[in-house]
Amino acid sequence: MNDNDTEGSPAGPGPLPRRRTDRTARLQLTKDQAGQALELAQWCATDLDEHRLLNELPVLAHELPREIRTFVNEARLDPLGHVIMLSGNQIDQDVLGATPESWRVADTPASRAYGVLLMLYGALLGDPIGWATQQSGRLVTDVLPSRGAEYSLISASSSLELAWHTEDAHSPYRADWVGLFALRNQASVPTTISFVEHSDVPADIARILAEPRFVFEPDASHEFDGDRPEPAPVPVLTGGPGAPVLRADRDFVRAVDGDPEARQALDWVIGHLDANLYDVTLEEGDVAFVDNRNVVHGRRPFQAAFNGSDRWLKRVNVARDLRRIDAGTRRGATCVIV
Ligand SMILES: [Fe+2]
């Protein structure tokens, strides 16, 4: 919890209690737990063929230390949770090598076991999904700064803040959790998180946000061979205070044309999410699963060095229920969405 969390503070004179914001469930792995988890991932990465790995991921994840499985299970049952964090994973920086220049060359043999470990942790929450239109359909993708993309609107940016967003907000098949594994983050570049405080939403705004009056364009990380799909209007906020479903993207959402009421409601929620934005820094060895239904996420700006020392994350999208996705190619307990 961060210093905004004053739950449980005694009543009485003094400053007004501040709102509880950071709902991160965090487990600090012991050296033994981290070692066992990495050993399992290394064995999966070197001894199993891909077919078996993708088929048996949820079963292989049973071999992770029990404390990790118990913790993730408890955390996933919090309907208002923001982030599930597993800290203290071991990274051998000497073996890992330099941060690659682009995602295209980032699926390195030395980093593969970390991607598998991220998938194993993710299998405690659901099944990994990928996108045929993103990073060549890889299930484990890479987040690192690319030269020339410093001011772009995607995660390869650096000098520009990556604005808060629901991962793949344009699609009904978007993930329930986004898993991020910090292999390197020497500059402690913060990830950002924001959320809707339901009790703050005026009733008329809530009613409009729950109606299909908003259009999401796919972000620029998706590369389409032909025409981009024509987005249909969808709601921004559904599900109610006990089980919210937030769908928002600061750069890629607009109200439908000719609907000033929707535009006003959208402006309200954008201001609200801006105001609630807070930092969660993924340090080296941190694995974070961001709840893609409850919160939006982004990244603060930073100065990329492009010398092999820059921030490098592995990323995996996790779906709780593969059966809700009917537009992809199944490979074992995974799916690549077309
Ligand atoms: Fe993202």
The domain in which residue 302 lies consists of 24-337
Centre of ligand 1 to C-alpha 67, Å, is 28
Centre of ligand 1 to C-alpha 101, Å, is 19
Q: What is the mean pLDDT of residues 10-21?
A: 45
Report yes or no on 2 lying in a domain: no
Centre of ligand 1 to C-alpha 169, Å, is 10
Q: What is the mean pLDDT of residues 265-288?
A: 97
Centre of ligand 1 to C-alpha 319, Å, is 15
Q: What is the mean pLDDT of residues 188-202?
A: 95
CB 170 within 8 A of CB 252: yes
Q: Is the pLDDT confidence value at 121 over 70?
A: yes
Centre of ligand 1 to C-alpha 297, Å, is 6
Count of domains forming the chain: 1
More confident of the two residues 83 and 336 = 83
Confidence of residue 230 (pLDDT cuts 50, 70, 90): confident
pLDDT of residue 330: 83
Centre of ligand 1 to C-alpha 278, Å, is 15
Most confident of the ranges 47-56, 240-249, 254-263? 254-263
Report yes or no on 218 lying in a domain: yes
pLDDT of residue 18: 41
Mean pLDDT of the chain: 91
pLDDT of residue 281: 96
Centre of ligand 1 to C-alpha 262, Å, is 25
Centre of ligand 1 to C-alpha 298, Å, is 6
Instruction: Give 38-56 pLDDT, tens digit per residue.
Output: 999 999 999 999 899 999 9
Confidence of residue 272 (pLDDT cuts 50, 70, 90): very high
Q: What is the mean pLDDT of residues 93-105?
A: 95
Q: What is the mean pLDDT of residues 16-33?
A: 79
Report yes or no on 106 lying in a domain: yes
Report yes or no on 5 lying in a domain: no
pLDDT of residue 243: 87
Confidence of residue 296 (pLDDT cuts 50, 70, 90): very high
Centre of ligand 1 to C-alpha 327, Å, is 21
Centre of ligand 1 to C-alpha 123, Å, is 19
Q: In what order do the strands lie in the sheet with 295-299?
A: 162-165, 295-299, 190-195, 278-281
CB 122 within 8 A of CB 128: yes
CB 205 within 8 A of CB 238: no
Q: Is the pLDDT confidence value at 9 over 60?
A: no
Nearest-angstrom CA–CA distance, 215 and 235: 9
Centre of ligand 1 to C-alpha 166, Å, is 7
Confidence of residue 301 (pLDDT cuts 50, 70, 90): very high
Report yes or no on 103 lying in a domain: yes
pLDDT of residue 21: 64
Nearest residue to 315 via CA among 176, 143, 187: 143
Nearest-angstrom CA–CA distance, 111 and 261: 49
Nearest-angstrom CA–CA distance, 157 and 310: 12
Report yes or no on 16 lying in a domain: no
CATH of the domain at 42: 3.60.130.10
Q: Is the pLDDT confidence value at 236 over 80?
A: yes
260's enclosing H/E stretch is helix 260-275
Report yes or no on 81 lying in a domain: yes
Report yes or no on 191 lying in a domain: yes
